[in-house]
A and B are shown apart, each in its own frame.
Chain A
Amino acid sequence: MSKLHEAFAEAKAENRAALIGYLPAGFPTVPGAIDAITAMVENGVDIVEIGLPYSDPLMDGPTIQAAVDQSLRQGTTIRDVLETVRAVALTGAPTLVMSYWNPIERFGVDAFAGELAAAGGTGVITPDLTPEEAGDWIAASDAAGIDRVFLVAPSSTLGRIEIVSSMTTGFLYAASLMGVTGVQSVSQAAPALVERSRPYAKVPIAVGLGVSTAEQAAQVATYADGVIVGSAFVRLLLDAATPAQGVAAVGKLAAELAVGVRRTA
């Protein structure tokens, strides 16, 4: 069993959903992001997603755009992302990278999978890679022993859910709403999407987009195996007066969310 699946299994054994936290690499700085992610893990985040900053993040709303924009202007590279993975993986939490496809293709699909595995990363979430275009990635991720995470959305037909599920090895990422990150709240469509996906999913299902509070986390935890929180953490770092205050605020939110996902127990 991969480290990622162990984390889901442990959460399940406690009769709760796993808590998954997202932050982009290099924001506010490379070490600053490592500090913030470490604080997430220390305060109850089970699984980490590290965003690979990209110039054209068309699935992200203004909050994450602002953070990755700053990260890129400061010169964050794919090497920095891999170093961030290495540092975060030392916490023991399963560490995934979330990346738009072009940086991976440009880096070299095999090289990226291999180097990520060597850095201790366990998988990659690819929000704009459709299964139809994923041939190289399937081969490379299998060879490197890296988990693949693809997305389903409220608009997905059963046929699409079946195709996407069949290629997903990490967890199935159920986008809770039609839209971008950090703008709307988790939608009514989410429970139905999870229910429709159950028969096809061979792996745990985690719900993301629009989850920012312990209340919402508790709600989502009633029907999903994992709860993904991103923009809410990024917002705290954007609003913080000092990096230290940002890290503290991220830790505090992680602790609240960790209580949220346990409320069903």
Chain B
Amino acid sequence: MRTDITGDLREATEALQSWNAQFPDVAGHFGRYGGRFVPEALIVALDELDAAFRAAKVDPEFQAELAHLHATYTGRPSPVTECHRFGEVAGGARVFLKREDLNHTGSHKINNVLGQALLTVRMGKKRVIAETGAGQHGVATATAAALFGLECVVYMGEEDTRRQALNVARMKLLGAQVVPVTAGSRTLKDAMNEAMRDWVTNVDSTHYIIGTVAGPAPFPEMVREFHRIIGVESRAQMLELTGRLPDAVTACVGGGSNAIGIFSGFVDDADVKLYGFEAGGDGVETGRHASAITGGSVGVLHGQRSYVLQDEDGQTVESHSISAGLDYPGVGPEHAWLADSGRATYIAVTDTEAMEAFRVLCRTEGIIPAIETAHALAGTIELGRELGPDAIILVNCSGRGDKDVETASRWFGIMDGERAPEGRA
């Protein structure tokens, strides 16, 4: 309930200048993007979620509960690490990592999940479902479900259950049911379709914890707000560490949640350039990629209008990436709007470039990043070389690479025939 008149006033004044207050509009639009394209059956649930989210946003009790969880469970604030040796490779620029990889469960995904899990409890629902690609969102959801005593079902493309077997095991250990999805391309987009079907069938008892800043309103805004802590913390940390704002903030973009989280802390700082690195797969020109903004067109997918990979008939085209977490043919609507408005720049990074950067970070800093994150690192190396030694670049280190050890070992040929024993990847 909004009874605080000064709060309302502050919000109204803020709306005049702040991007975050200006977008989305009341119907969930970021410019021409976003909105709701869903079966009528889901509208009431979306309205209910919207009301719960808006109430929680201004409820000190909710905010305190979430902050307490982050401090005592997630491990927030996550540190910012300066990477001197990595910076030498990146043209001598000063490169800083926002260490979301050090969060409980190993990625930024937990920020959003804890927020939505608290909302689930508030709405009186007993069951959560989720889609997952790399398995990080699935693991985070299974974790929160265990913590709050909720039933949990995670939909995961069959192809991804193979690529990310370690995370499938983690979810099962945490008590979640993992449903392999065999429809379509058997990856993240099909997992999301299946989760939507479950939701429309079980909406009375179930909350669908969407894992990125996509889906029908209010998801893109709500997920941004739960990840905004990344940007808020790291802005203060950078000021503390360097005495000024960075020249550029970079992140990888799948659906776009880790990127929006860190961007949202800097979006009103006009001098800070924002860079999103999409998965370029074999190269955008080959057609085998997952770069919705760089290589896609405007369309409607999974309940919202944004950039999508599609053919001339509007059929979704399968995406390709070495990174399961970026292997998605769409992107959150706010990124589409940030791209069109010129506030952020989106660039595709190929599998090969990402894996090279993965290797560099391992060898120069003793940090094994998620392959998703490696896309941001590859883009940062290029950017650093462009901007030169005086530049300060903040990278969102969205996750750690434990789940990717097998994929990376195969890529670099370091398993040399002796395959890791099952379950010990």
Do A and B actually bind?
A: yes
Q: Indicate with 1 or 0, residue by residue over B293-320, a CB within 8 angstroms of chain A CB atoms.
A: 0000001111100001010111110000
Q: Mark B193-214, 1 if CB is under 8 A from A, else 0.
A: 1001100111110000000000
Interface flag for A129 (CB, 8 Å): yes
Q: Judge if A150 is at the interface, Cβ distance under 8 Å.
A: yes
- Docked complex Cα distance between A153 and B201 (Å): 12
- Interface 1/0s, chain A 9-24, versus B by CB < 8 A? 0000000000000000
- Cα distance, A112 to B129, chains bound together (Å): 36
Interface residues contributed by chain B, number (CB under 8 Å): 35
Contact check, A102 vs B301: say whether CB atoms are below 8 A apart: yes
Does A72 contact B315, Cβ atoms closer than 8 Å?
Answer: yes
Cβ–Cβ contact B313 & A78, under 8 A: yes
Please name all residues of chain A whose beta carbon is closer than 8 Å to the beta carbon of B35 when the two chains form the complex: 130, 132-133
Say yes or no: is A119 at the interface (Cβ < 8 Å to chain B): no
Q: A114 within 8 Å of B by Cβ?
A: no
A127: contacting residue among B39, B202, B315, CB under 8 A: B39
A152 at the interface (CB under 8 A from B): yes
Report how far A59 CA is from B194 CA in the complex, Å: 10
Minimum CB–CB distance from A20 to chain B (whole Å) comes to 18
- Cα A101 to Cα B308 in complex, Å, equals 14
Q: Is the CB of A130 within 8 A of B44?
A: no
Given contacts A102-B310, A133-B37, A178-B203, contact A61 B315 (CB under 8 A): no
Contact A130 B183 (CB under 8 A): no
CB nearest to B203 among chain A residues: A178
Seen from chain B, the residues whose Cβ lies within 8 Å of a Cβ on chain A are 27, 35-45, 183-184, 189, 193, 196-197, 200-204, 299-303, 308, 310, 312-316
Which of chain A's residues have a CB closer than 8 A to the CB of B184? 55-56, 69
The A206-220 residues at the B interface (CB cut-off 8 A) are none
CB–CB A106/B310 < 8 A: yes
Q: How far is the CB of B223 from chain A (nearest CB, A)?
A: 19
Most A CB within 10 A of own CB, among B37, B38, B40, B45: B40
Tell me whether B189 and A155 are in contact (CB under 8 A). Answer: no
Chain A residues, Cβ within 8 Å of B27: 132
Does A38 make an interface contact (CB < 8 A)?
no
Q: Do B36 and A133 touch across chains, with their CB atoms under 8 A apart?
A: yes
Asked if A77 lies at the interface with its beta carbon under 8 angstroms from chain B, I say yes
Structural contact, B197 and A61, CB atoms closer than 8 A: yes
- Interface residue ranges of A89-140 to B (CB < 8 Å): 101-107, 127-130, 132-133
Docked Cα-Cα span, A122 to B292, in Å, equals 35
Please report the C-alpha to C-alpha distance between residue A61 and residue B196 in the assembled complex, in whole angstroms: 11
**In the assembled complex, which residues on chain B have CB atoms less than 8 Å from the CB atom of A58?**
39, 193, 196-197, 200, 302
Q: Other than the known A61-B197, A178-B203, A179-B200, what 15 A-B pairs have Cβ atoms closer than 8 Å?
A: A59-B197, A102-B308, A102-B310, A104-B314, A106-B312, A130-B43, A132-B27, A151-B39, A153-B40, A156-B40, A156-B44, A175-B40, A175-B41, A178-B204, A179-B201
A160 and B44 alpha carbons, distance in the complex (Å): 9
Interchain CB contact under 8 A, A128 and B41: no
What's the minimum C-beta distance from B126 to chain A, rounded to whole angstroms? 17
For A54, A104, A153, A160, which residue has the most chain B Cβ atoms within 10 angstroms? A153
Q: Are B183 and A153 in contact (CB under 8 A)?
A: no
A247 is an interface residue with CB less than 8 A from chain B: no
Q: Chain A residue with minimal CB distance to B318?
A: A55
Contacts of B44 in A (CB 8 A): 155-157, 160
Whether A155 lies near B203 (C-beta < 8 A) is yes
Instruction: Please determine whether B316 and A56 come into contact, CB atoms closer than 8 angstroms.
Output: yes
Q: Let me know if B40 and A105 touch, CB within 8 A.
A: no
Q: How far is the CB of B179 from chain A (nearest CB, A)?
A: 13
Whether A130 touches B41, Cβ cut-off 8 Å, given contacts A58-B193, A155-B203, A178-B203, is no
Chain B residues whose C-beta falls within 8 Å of the C-beta of A32 in the assembled complex: none
Kindly list chain A residues whose C-beta atoms are within 8 Å of the C-beta of B189: 56
- The contact string, 1 if C-beta is below 8 Å from chain B, for chain A 56-78, is 11110100010001001000011
CB distance B37 to A130 under 8 Å? Answer: yes
Residue of B43, B312, B313 ringed by the most chain A CB atoms within 10 A? B313
**Which residue in chain B gives the minimum CB-CB distance to A179?**
B201
| Of A58, A107, A152, most B-chain CB atoms within 10 Å | A58
**Contact residues, A172-204 vs B (CB, 8 A):** 175, 178-180, 183-184
- 24 A–B contact pairs at CB < 8 A? A58-B39, A58-B302, A59-B39, A61-B197, A78-B313, A103-B315, A104-B314, A105-B300, A106-B314, A130-B35, A130-B38, A133-B37, A151-B40, A152-B40, A155-B45, A164-B40, A175-B39, A178-B202, A178-B203, A178-B204, A179-B201, A180-B200, A180-B201, A184-B201
Chain B residues whose CB sits within 8 angstroms of the CB of A243 once the complex forms: none
A55 to B301, CA, bound (A): 10
Q: Which residues of B contact A154 (CB under 8 A)?
A: 41
Q: Are B299 and A105 in contact (CB under 8 A)?
A: yes
Tell me the bound Cα distance from A102 to B184 in angstroms.
17
Contact present for A101 and B300 (CB under 8 Å): yes
Contacts of A78 in B (CB 8 A): 313-314
B28 smallest CB distance to A (angstroms): 9
B315's closest neighbor in chain A, by CB? Answer: A55
**A127 surroundings in chain B (CB, below 8 A):** 39
In whole angstroms, how far apart are the Cα atoms of A77 and B200 in the complex? 28
Which residues of chain B are near A175, meaning CB under 8 Å? Answer: 39-41
Q: What A residues does B39 contact at CB under 8 A?
A: 58-59, 127-128, 151, 153, 175
Tell me the smallest distance from the CB of B128 to a CB of chain A, in Å. Answer: 18
Instruction: Give chain B nearest CB distance to A222 CB in angstroms.
Output: 23
Q: Which residues of A contact B303 (CB under 8 A)?
A: 128
CB nearest to B39 among chain A residues: A59
The distance from the CB of A172 to the nearest CB of chain B, in whole angstroms, is: 11
Q: Measured between alpha carbons, how far is A65 from B193 in the docked complex, in Å? A: 11
Which residue of chain B is the closest to A151 with respect to CB atoms? Answer: B40
In the bound complex, how far is the Cα of B35 from the Cα of A69, in angstroms? 27
Picked from A77, A102, A150, A156, the residue with its CB within 8 Å of the CB of B300 is: A102
Q: How far is the CA of A156 from the CA of B316 in the complex (A)?
A: 29
* A151–B39 alpha-carbon span in the complex (Å): 8
| Nearest CB of chain B from residue A83's CB, rounded to whole Å | 14
Please tell me if the beta carbons of B314 and A103 are within 8 angstroms of each other in the complex.
yes
Once the chains are docked, how many angstroms separate the CA of A155 from the CA of B199? 13
Is the CB–CB distance between B314 and A107 below 8 Å?
yes
The reply to whether A106 and B45 form a contact with Cβ atoms under 8 Å apart is: no
Complex CA–CA separation, A58 to B198 (angstroms):
10
